[in-house]
Chain A
Amino acid sequence: MIINSRFFNRSELIGFVALALVLLVILPLSLDVFRLNLVAKYLTYAFVAIGLVLCWGYGGILSLGQGVFFGLGGYCMAMFLKLEASSVENTKIQSTPGIPDFMDWNQITALPLFWQPFHSLTFTVLAIILVPGLFALIIGTAMFKRRVGGTYFAIITQAVAAILTILIVGQQGYTGGINGMTDLRTLKGWDIRPDHAKIVLYFFEVFLLFGCIFIAQFIRLTKLGRILVAMREQEDRVRFSGYSVANFKIFAFCMAAIFAAIGGAMFALNVGFMSPSFVGIVPSIEMVIYTAVGGRMSIFGAVWGALLVNFAKTGLSESFPQLWLFGLGALFIAVVLAFPNGLSGIWADYVQPRIDRLLASRKSKSGAWADNSVADGAPAE
């Protein structure tokens, strides 16, 4: 009996090496800083897409509100950066110096209480994880314990995304409103705007992304990963095998929220601002499309999906700004209809077998006797 106890199987290892090569070597060497910073922005969505692989691909829980968590993470980061950018000497022309400019414009004269702890970077980092995590826990508990699932859950997450957007836009004095939080400058005194900072932030982000990939892969390989798959197919059978289905769904949803929040925080750092246009329904649906295009069952596929769709988006919207949304919609429909497993499915069904055949034919030429030892090389018991 063969039990695969390795962390990555062969094709996953190829996927990992290919991604590492592209992100760490090829792109940094071939792109200028402006384009590399664009890649950094695209990669922030890859965090969300990885979360969706766990939650949607494995657990079958479609969330159309990941922008909420992306936004919460992003806003937590942006609040810290905004406070640092709003030092007394930077804002001495304001009627109340030392508070963010948008507060001053909205006749707020003191820093609100919930802003106070964001003076601390430690608190901010914890908040980036915990605020979205707890929010997902509350939504998840309220929904899954009552057995709300499927389409209903998707619609509710959309409603939450809409509500949060309205709240952010409406509470202009506390959130910066529709413009968001702009003019973010330094992180603990380190300027995040010049080119060399962009490069450091890019590599830091790739490092975090691989961290999230490893966590997702670890979860996928534990029994919990198999329970998620089981749950997606036969929820009742899981329940009658002694598991609390709701708790597992809550876990998957929280993990997806935390990944999305890390992406959001990196967005604020790399792009230098955060606004409600990354929170609402449309960006949330776009995030699902990245995952669908990349392949919702594939962690690496999701990263490629986020990268490629965003490259296409930038390319197309530069030349045909009106057409882009239609293109995105058409892409989504095409992927769902023709390639339900996305790019990773195309790879596994069409490209991988050819490579295997090619390798096999070359191997048989080089000597048939060697073939046996390779075939038996799998860990047997």
Chain B
Amino acid sequence: MLIGHQPKPFLLAVEALTVSFDGFKAVNNLSFYVEENEIRVIIGPNGAGKTTVLDLICGKTKATSGSIQFRGKELTKLKENQIVQTGVGRKFQTPSVFEDLTVFENLEISYPRGRTVFGSLAFQRDDAVKQRVEEVAEMIFLKDRLDTYADQLSHGQKQWLEIGMLLIQDPELLMLDEPVAGMSVSERAKTAELLNRIIKDRSVLVIEHDMKFVEDIAHKVTVLHQGQILSEGTMEKVKNDPKVIEVYLGH
């Protein structure tokens, strides 16, 4: 292999990643690569380690061994907020928005400026901020609810708000943990439309169970089982993989 002659560097390179909780290996020697502008969906049965993989990438869980390279930077050594600043955004499974703040304030906090203690004291709500907040609010269907406190929003709206909070950070890698779980049919359709719009110009890593949704958006699918990769490739290939049918899709 010629070093320094690779045609296309990966945006995210996960190599030999392992994490063990008291001896139980939730993720075991996992390697996968995400390219620029790729939409990768991770599927797998419960307990396969999907959420743990996202936790490892965003720094919520520390890896036992292995490496995670993002644009050549080693993420396993960084703190969560530093990882965010390199351009990785993470949405949690249950909507985590600030319920005691308004939609506007929620989005404003996520605006990538004034992130230090004294930066936030000096932070001014200027036109650039307002404009960006309104722009994102329109995208996430919450333009008329900017002054609403987030605890007044429906479950689906909270999910959108959290997606909006990520969008305003403008991450290069967006990680979404079950973005349509618990949504009504119409909310689901709107979310798919939203996701299709925001995944342009960035790479996305999604965990999702809704196979119809996966088929709609995925460029490539990774199937996890017991912390290891069971199968990887296009949806078509994965769907017809007998191993995958046995442990996951067959049910």
Interface, chain A (partner B; CB < 8 A): 1-3, 219, 222-224, 226-227, 229-230, 232-234, 236-245, 247-248, 251
- Chain B residues with CB under 8 Å of A247's CB are 116-117
Distance A236 CA – B105 CA, assembled complex (angstroms):
17
Minimum C-beta distance from B208 to chain A (A): 20
Given contacts A3-B125, A234-B96, 19 further A-B pairs with CB under 8 A are A222-B121, A223-B114, A224-B117, A224-B121, A226-B105, A227-B109, A229-B98, A229-B101, A230-B98, A233-B100, A236-B96, A237-B96, A237-B165, A239-B81, A240-B58, A240-B89, A241-B169, A242-B85, A245-B81
- Chain A residues with CB under 8 Å of B79's CB are 244
User: Number of contacting residues on B, CB 8 A?
Assistant: 37
A223-B108, A226-B109 known; A244 and B81 CB under 8 Å?
A: yes
A236 near B92 (CB under 8 angstroms)? yes
Can you give 18 A-B contacts (C-beta < 8 A)?
Answer: A2-B147, A224-B121, A229-B100, A230-B100, A232-B100, A233-B99, A233-B100, A236-B92, A237-B96, A237-B162, A241-B165, A242-B84, A242-B85, A243-B115, A244-B81, A244-B116, A245-B81, A248-B117
Within 8 A of A (CB), among B187-234: none
- Chain A residues with CB under 8 Å of B99's CB are 233
B90 in the interface, Cβ–Cβ < 8 Å?
yes
Q: Please give me the residue from chain A that is nearest to B58 by CB atom.
A: A240
Q: Which of B85, B92, B109, B114 contacts A230 (CB 8 A)?
A: B109
Distance A244 CA – B118 CA, assembled complex (angstroms):
12
Minimum C-beta distance from B215 to chain A (A): 29
- Chain B residues with CB under 8 Å of A230's CB are 98, 100-101, 106, 109
- Chain A residues with CB under 8 Å of B109's CB are 223, 226-227, 230, 238, 241
Q: Please give me the residue from chain A that is nearest to B133 by CB atom.
A: A1
Minimum C-beta distance from B140 to chain A (A): 16
Within 8 A of A (CB), among B51-98: 58, 60, 79-81, 84-85, 89-90, 92, 96-98
Minimum C-beta distance from B97 to chain A (A): 7
A241-B109, A242-B81 known; A251 and B100 CB under 8 Å?
A: no
- Chain A residues with CB under 8 Å of B89's CB are 240
B146 near A1 (CB under 8 angstroms)? yes
B112 in the interface, Cβ–Cβ < 8 Å?
yes
B120 in the interface, Cβ–Cβ < 8 Å?
yes
Distance A97 CA – B123 CA, assembled complex (angstroms):
55
Distance A230 CA – B104 CA, assembled complex (angstroms):
13
- Chain A residues with CB under 8 Å of B37's CB are none
B157 in the interface, Cβ–Cβ < 8 Å?
no
Distance A241 CA – B120 CA, assembled complex (angstroms):
13
Q: Which of B58, B147, B162, B169 contacts A1 (CB 8 A)?
A: B147
A222-B120, A244-B79 known; A237 and B97 CB under 8 Å?
A: yes
A241 near B125 (CB under 8 angstroms)? no
Minimum C-beta distance from A271 to chain B (A): 34
- Chain A residues with CB under 8 Å of B110's CB are 241
Distance A251 CA – B119 CA, assembled complex (angstroms):
13
A1-B147, A226-B105, A233-B99 known; A240 and B80 CB under 8 Å?
A: yes
A240 near B101 (CB under 8 angstroms)? no
The 7 lowest CB-CB distance pairs between A and B, nearest first, are A242-B84, A223-B123, A230-B98, A224-B120, A237-B96, A223-B120, A239-B80
Distance A186 CA – B37 CA, assembled complex (angstroms):
73
Minimum C-beta distance from B18 to chain A (A): 23
Minimum C-beta distance from A216 to chain B (A): 13
Minimum C-beta distance from B182 to chain A (A): 18
- Chain B residues with CB under 8 Å of A237's CB are 92, 96-98, 162, 165
B98 near A233 (CB under 8 angstroms)? yes
- Chain A residues with CB under 8 Å of B108's CB are 223, 226
- Chain A residues with CB under 8 Å of B100's CB are 229-230, 232-233
- Chain A residues with CB under 8 Å of B96's CB are 234, 236-237
Q: Please give me the residue from chain B that is nearest to A226 by CB atom.
A: B105
Distance A233 CA – B98 CA, assembled complex (angstroms):
6
Q: Please give me the residue from chain B that is nearest to A234 by CB atom.
A: B96
Q: Which of A223, A227, A232, A234 contacts B97 (CB 8 A)?
A: A234
B123-149 Cβ-contact flags toward A at 8 Å (1 or 0): 101000000000000000000001100
- Chain B residues with CB under 8 Å of A242's CB are 81, 84-85, 112, 115, 169
Distance A58 CA – B244 CA, assembled complex (angstroms):
49
Distance A169 CA – B99 CA, assembled complex (angstroms):
46
Distance A245 CA – B81 CA, assembled complex (angstroms):
8
Distance A303 CA – B117 CA, assembled complex (angstroms):
26
Distance A229 CA – B151 CA, assembled complex (angstroms):
14
Identify which of A1, A3, A223, A232 gathers the most chain B CB atoms within 10 Å of its CB: A223
Minimum C-beta distance from A40 to chain B (A): 31
Distance A234 CA – B146 CA, assembled complex (angstroms):
20
B117 near A240 (CB under 8 angstroms)? no
B84 near A240 (CB under 8 angstroms)? yes
- Chain A residues with CB under 8 Å of B147's CB are 1-2
- Chain A residues with CB under 8 Å of B169's CB are 241-242
Distance A223 CA – B110 CA, assembled complex (angstroms):
11
